Amino acid sequence: MTQQDAFPGMVKLLTADGQELATGWVDRVAGSLKGRISRNELDRELTELYTALVEALRDGVADAHADGMSEVRALLTELSRNRARQGFSPTETAISVFALKHVLEPVLQDGSDQDIRAYLRLGRLLDDLGLFTIETYSRTREEIISSQADQLLELSTPVIKLWDGVIAVPLVGTLDSARTQVVMEKLLQALVDTGSEQAIIDITGVPAVDTQVAQHLLKTIVAARLMGAECTVSGIRPQIAQTIVALGIEFGDIVTKASLADALRLALKKSGVEITRGGGVGR
Amino acid sequence: MNVPWAADDEPQTQPVVMNDDVVRVRQFARGLSQRCKLSLVDQTKFITAASELARNTLVYGGGGSCTAGLVRGRGRLGVAAVFEDFGPGIPDIELAMTDGWTSGGGLGLGLSGARRLVDEFALDTEAGRGTKVTVIKWAR
Q: What is the tens place of the pLDDT at every residue in A113-166?
A: 888 888 888 889 999 999 999 999 999 999 988 888 777 766 667 889 999 999
Q: pLDDT value at position A252?
A: 84
Q: pLDDT value at position A2?
A: 46
How many independent structural domains does chain B possess? 1
CATH architecture for segment(s) A3-150: Orthogonal Bundle (1.10)
Contact A239 B44 (CB under 8 A): yes
Q: Is the pLDDT of residue B65 over 90?
A: yes
- Cα–Cα distance, A31 to A103 (Å, whole number): 13
Q: pLDDT value at position A156?
A: 62
Contact B113 A207 (CB under 8 A): no
Contact B109 A249 (CB under 8 A): yes
Does residue A231 sit in helix, strand or coil? strand
Q: Is the pLDDT of residue A202 over 90?
A: yes
For A82-94, write each residue's pLDDT tens digit: 888 888 888 888 9
Nearest to A215 among B19, B45, B106 (CB): B106
Q: pLDDT value at position B31?
A: 92
Greater confidence, A106 or A192? A192
CATH number of A160-270: 3.30.750.24
Residue A248: CA count within 13 A, CB half-sphere: 18
Judge whether A155 and A189 are in contact, CB under 8 Å.
no
Nearest to B109 among A174, A211, A239 (CB): A211
Q: Lowest-confidence range among A40-54, A153-167, A199-213?
A: A153-167
User: Residue B22 maps to which CATH number?
Assistant: 3.30.565.10
Which of the 8 DSSP states describes residue A256?
E
Residues 28-87 of B with CB under 8 A from A: 30, 40-41, 43-45, 47-48, 51-52, 55
Q: pLDDT value at position A6?
A: 66
- Cα–Cα distance, A244 to B116 (Å, whole number): 11
Closest chain B C-alpha to A227 CA, distance in angstroms: 24
- Cα–Cα distance, B118 to B51 (Å, whole number): 12
- Cα–Cα distance, B101 to B103 (Å, whole number): 7
Q: Is the pLDDT of residue B74 over 50?
A: yes
For B27-49, write each residue's pLDDT tens digit: 999 999 999 999 999 999 999 99
Q: Which residues of A touch B47 (CB under 8 A)?
A: 207-208
Which one-letter amino acid corresponds to residue A273? Answer: V
Q: pLDDT value at position A1?
A: 42
- Cα–Cα distance, B51 to B24 (Å, whole number): 9
Question: What does pTM read for this prediction?
Answer: 0.66
Contact B44 A176 (CB under 8 A): no
Judge whether A190 and A167 are in contact, CB under 8 Å.
yes
CATH 3.30.750.24 in chain A, residue ranges: 160-270
- Structural domain span for residue B130: 12-138
Contact A211 B47 (CB under 8 A): no
Q: Is the pLDDT of residue B16 over 90?
A: yes
Q: Is the pLDDT of residue A189 over 50?
A: yes
